[in-house]
């Protein structure tokens, strides 16, 4: 997990690119695969991780829960045979003020734009907590992510997560943000950051590749 976090301070990933097994017929370690894919600008798929953990003769792949914990998402095959990636469930419990803040953000039309593979998006969701996050407006910007609705929805988004409202006048910021910052942006009074559980910092935003 430390390897994945260490190379994701700034994520510049190309959709659909991955590394396979080593050239000598053996299997590269999971650590090496993650490092190569992240340094090379690729997306590491859950299936690839399963392949590197277990040799071809193994009878079973690792549980989905293990894959989801390692990557922050897991693959699901749709009825038409396509594979989509679902982020793992937010695990932290929300504070009462985080829930109220999420309600205000939604009322003001603020949406978070993100990608299933972005660790900063996963951490931002955890900052909100499960109950608050379930209230938030969210747009998945990766074509392979669950709930993707088209790139038009994400026009102008240059990094993940990005928070903005339809007008761009209330909130229009990119990068991981403390809830206190978002509260100030929407004039949510009396927000007390000491009531929020701290999470380890892993960077600010996942940047998109230059085109």
Q: Distance of CA 120 to CAs 80, 124, 159, Å?
A: 30, 6, 10
Residues 47 and 100 in one domain: no
Q: Give the predicted TM-score (pTM) of the model.
A: 0.69
Residues 67 and 155 in one domain: no
For the record, the structure tokens of 165 come out as 């409202």
What pLDDT is stored for residue 169 in this prediction?
85
| 36: containing domain | 2-71
Q: CATH code at 107?
A: 3.40.30.10
What pLDDT is stored for residue 141 in this prediction?
97
Residues 132 and 199 in one domain: yes
The count of structural domains within the chain is 2
Asked if residues 203 and 120 have their Cβ atoms less than 8 Å apart, the reply is yes
**Element housing 128 (H / E):** helix 119-128
What pLDDT is stored for residue 144 in this prediction?
95
Q: What is the pLDDT of residues 21-70, one digit of tens each?
A: 344 444 444 444 444 444 444 444 444 443 333 344 445 666 777 777 77
Indicate whether 80 belongs to any domain. Answer: no
Q: What is the pLDDT along the chain (211 residues), one digit of tens a residue?
A: 433 333 233 333 334 333 333 444 444 444 444 444 444 444 444 444 433 333 444 456 667 777 777 788 999 998 889 999 999 999 999 999 999 999 999 999 999 999 999 999 999 999 999 999 999 999 999 999 999 999 999 999 999 999 999 888 889 999 999 999 999 999 999 999 999 988 876 667 787 877 6
What pLDDT is stored for residue 30 in this prediction?
44
Residues 104 and 199 in one domain: yes
Residues 132 and 175 in one domain: yes
Asked if residues 26 and 53 have their Cβ atoms less than 8 Å apart, the reply is no
Per the listing, tokens 């609705």 go with: 149
């Amino acid at each position: 997990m430390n390897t994945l976090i260490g190379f994701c301070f700034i994520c510049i990933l190309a959709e659909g690119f991955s590394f396979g097994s080593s050239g000598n017929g053996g299997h590269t370690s999971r650590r090496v695969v993650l490092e190569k894919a992240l340094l090379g600008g690729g997306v590491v798929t859950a299936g690839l991780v399963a392949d590197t953990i277990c040799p071809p003769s193994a009878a079973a792949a690792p549980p989905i829960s293990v894959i989801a914990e390692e990557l922050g998402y897991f693959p699901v095959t749709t009825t038409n045979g396509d594979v989509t990636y679902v982020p793992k469930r937010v695990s932290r419990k929300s504070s009462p003020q985080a829930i109220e803040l999420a309600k205000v953000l939604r009322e003001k039309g603020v949406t978070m734009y993100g990608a299933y593979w972005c660790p900063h998006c996963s951490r931002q969701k955890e900052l909100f907590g499960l109950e608050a996050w379930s209230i938030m407006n969210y747009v998945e910007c990766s074509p392979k992510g669950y709930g993707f609705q088209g790139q038009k929805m994400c026009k102008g988004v240059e990094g993940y997560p990005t928070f903005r409202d339809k007008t761009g006048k209330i909130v229009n910021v990119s990068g991981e943000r403390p809830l206190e910052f978002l509260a100030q942006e929407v004039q949510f009074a009396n927000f007390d950051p000491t009531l929020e559980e701290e999470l380890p910092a892993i960077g600010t935003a996942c940047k998109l590749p230059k085109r």
